[in-house]
């Protein structure tokens, strides 16, 4: 098994640093413009790869790639599961069953059939490729799912599909691998026992995840009520839960990926009060690893998809990208959604990193012929980044809201003698509700600001009368766009 050299380790650390810096600096511009973030990081991979600065050159056998890809898949499964609103899913269970049932499995079967016919693959290999390419990418959809222009039911359907269809498709990939011949790189453990793998897949993995999720969140809740837990450490706790669930399941012979998802879903179902930092840190960390993996692929690996470009693979790519749309349109009629919403859901199904992570599993297991599955998947992902990424960017730009003036227009009052100048930085003070009402009754210029995070704001339907919505992650720009008067008293609330 290849080892991680000092040079490769240094290059990996440099890659992590570059991704964190670039993603942080571009986060606001990318979210507002709707540009496909994935495309930017693929090009960043080219810049640091062999064709550019030569800082990074990863092969499919690189230990660094395996670590990055594994962590990325673990964290995205955990963060997508923990962010699920179980009550909302129950309320829209018909839509969830349609999207994750026939809306996921039928396209996978059609893509597998096309792979068997057009690419002359063995049935099991075709099933792996069909399952991997039926997975929709959460990274390409993240900016879209945050858009307020997207209908609520459409957002839920796409979040369910991108966050949970990997769990539906992962068993198909792992079970199909049992029927494929293992190469010399298959860990040297001999043939896998099918019964043991099925038990590990469907019982040990999810069971370990449920146990770890329940124990971890119960322990944190008890300690928080007793000695207390610092908020910054509470945010790190999410990362520890995901990795612990994965490791315990793997040691027990189960699927660590399903364990990570089960742990997140258990925490979501327990409905324990969690600070937003717990959830947001997990999502941010998962997104960083996903972008890091895209840079790693962009250095050289993903472009190998262009090497298999011919008429048959182009026809296959058309089927792989069109099967989901053709299936979703009739399937979603049973959901009762308006035609416009059904079309949005059916079209907005990009293929990306989740596809590449799933198809890498047989590569890491040393399955014979798996590298061809990877290169074909790379071609489809490249086409999808252009087609779906461009479509999402166009939707975001057309749906971008125009700034509206604040509902309270009050000219700046002259400052009394001895008062601090506007350039000074006054310390925010707490204000009681009675004091707020007294100021309003006296005709003082008071503006109530709703500065809750997007997660808390969306989960709670309560709205303060006359309050202006000012998200905390973009407060300065939003305040300027809303023309909030500088001379007014600002009363902000976040709970």
Domain spanning 405-495 has what CATH number?
Answer: 3.40.250
Q: How far apart are alpha carbons 128 and 133 in whole angstroms?
A: 9
| For the chain, domain boundaries | 6-193+276-399, 405-495
Ranges under pLDDT 70 in the chain:
1-12, 14-16, 19, 23, 27-36, 182-197, 231-232, 234-235, 271-284, 286, 398-430, 436, 453-461, 470, 472-483, 486-487, 493-495
Could you read off the pLDDT of 354-388 as tens digits, one per residue?
A: 898 889 889 888 888 889 999 999 999 999 988 88
| Sheet-wide strand order for 446-450 | 468-469, 446-450, 489-493
Ramachandran class of 319: left when φ > 0, alpha when ψ lies in -120 to 50, beta otherwise: alpha
Q: Is the dihedral of CA 5, 7, 10, 15 positive or negative?
A: negative
Of 189, 130, 197, 192, the residue nearest 359 (C-alpha): 130
Rounded CA separation 122/120 (Å): 7
pLDDT of residue 187: 43
Cα-to-chain-centroid distance, residue 357: 13
Fold match between domain 6-193+276-399 and domain 405-495 = no
Express each pLDDT in 399-409 by its tens digit.
655 444 444 44
Check residue 22 and give its pLDDT: 72
**Per CATH, domain 6-193+276-399 is 2.50.20.10:** no
What φ, ψ does residue 330 adopt, rounded to 5°?
A: -75, -35
pLDDT score recorded for residue 410: 42
Residue 334, CA atoms < 13 Å, CB-side half-sphere: 14
> How many CB atoms lie under 10 A from the CB of residue 43?
13
pLDDT for the residue numbered 405: 44
Task: Give the burial class of 349: count Cβ atoms within 10 A of its Cβ; 0-12 exposed, 13-18 middle, 19 or more buried.
Answer: buried
Burial of residue 493 (number of CB atoms within 10 Å: 0-12, 13-18, 19+): middle
Residue 474 pLDDT: 56
- Gap between the Cα atoms of 91 and 303, Å rounded: 43
Q: Over pLDDT 70: what percentage of the chain?
A: 72
């Amino acid at each position: 098994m290849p080892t991680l050299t000092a040079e490769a380790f240094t290059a990996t650390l440099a890659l992590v640093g570059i991704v964190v810096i670039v993603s942080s600096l571009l986060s606001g511009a990318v979210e507002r413009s709707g540009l496909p973030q994935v495309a930017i990081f693929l090009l960043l991979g080219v810049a640091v790869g062999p064709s550019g600065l030569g800082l990074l050159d990863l092969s499919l056998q690189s230990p660094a790639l395996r670590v990055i890809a594994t962590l990325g898949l673990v964290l995205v499964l955990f963060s997508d599961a923990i962010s699920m609103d179980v009550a909302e899913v129950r309320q829209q269970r018909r839509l969830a069953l349609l999207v994750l049932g026939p809306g996921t499995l039928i396209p996978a079967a059609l893509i597998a059939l096309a792979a068997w016919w057009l690419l002359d693959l063995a049935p099991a290999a075709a099933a792996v490729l069909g399952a991997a390419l039926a997975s929709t990418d959460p990274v390409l959809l993240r900016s879209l799912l945050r858009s307020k222009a997207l209908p609520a039911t459409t957002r839920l359907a796409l979040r369910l599909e991108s966050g949970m269809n990997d769990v539906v498709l992962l068993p198909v990939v792992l079970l199909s691998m049992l029927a494929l011949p293992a190469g010399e790189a298959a860990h040297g453990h001999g043939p896998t026992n099918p019964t043991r793998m099925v038990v590990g897949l469907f019982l040990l993995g999810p069971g370990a995840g449920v146990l770890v999720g329940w124990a971890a969140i119960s322990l944190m809740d008890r300690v928080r009520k007793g000695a207390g837990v610092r908020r910054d450490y509470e945010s790190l706790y999410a990362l520890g839960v995901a990795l612990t669930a994965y490791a315990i399941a793997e040691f027990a012979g189960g699927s660590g990926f399903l364990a990570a998802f089960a742990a997140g879903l258990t925490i979501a179902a327990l409905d324990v009060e969690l600070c937003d930092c717990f959830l947001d840190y997990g999502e941010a960390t998962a997104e960083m690893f996903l972008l890091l993996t895209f840079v790693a692929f962009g250095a050289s690996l993903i472009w190998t998809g262009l090497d298999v470009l011919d008429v048959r693979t182009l026809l296959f790519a058309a089927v792989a990208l069109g099967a989901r749309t053709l299936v979703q349109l009739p399937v979603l009629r049973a959901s009762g959604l308006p035609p416009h919403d059904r079309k949005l859901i059916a079209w907005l199904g990009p293929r990306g990193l989740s596809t590449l992570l799933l198809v890498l599993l047989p590569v890491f297991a040393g399955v014979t012929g798996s590298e061809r599955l990877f290169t074909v998947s790379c071609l489809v992902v490249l086409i999808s980044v252009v087609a779906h990424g461009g479509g999402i960017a166009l939707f975001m730009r057309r749906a971008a809201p125009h700034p509206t003036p604040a509902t309270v227009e009050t000219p700046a009052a002259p400052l009394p003698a001895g008062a601090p100048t506007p350039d000074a930085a006054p310390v925010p003070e707490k204000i009681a509700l009675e004091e707020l009402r007294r100021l309003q009754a006296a005709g003082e210029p008071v503006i109530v600001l709703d500065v809750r995070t997007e997660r808390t704001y969306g989960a709670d339907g309560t709205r303060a009368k006359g309050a202006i919505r000012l998200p905390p992650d973009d407060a300065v720009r939003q305040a300027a766009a809303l023309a909030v008067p500088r001379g007014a008293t600002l009363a902000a609330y976040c709970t």
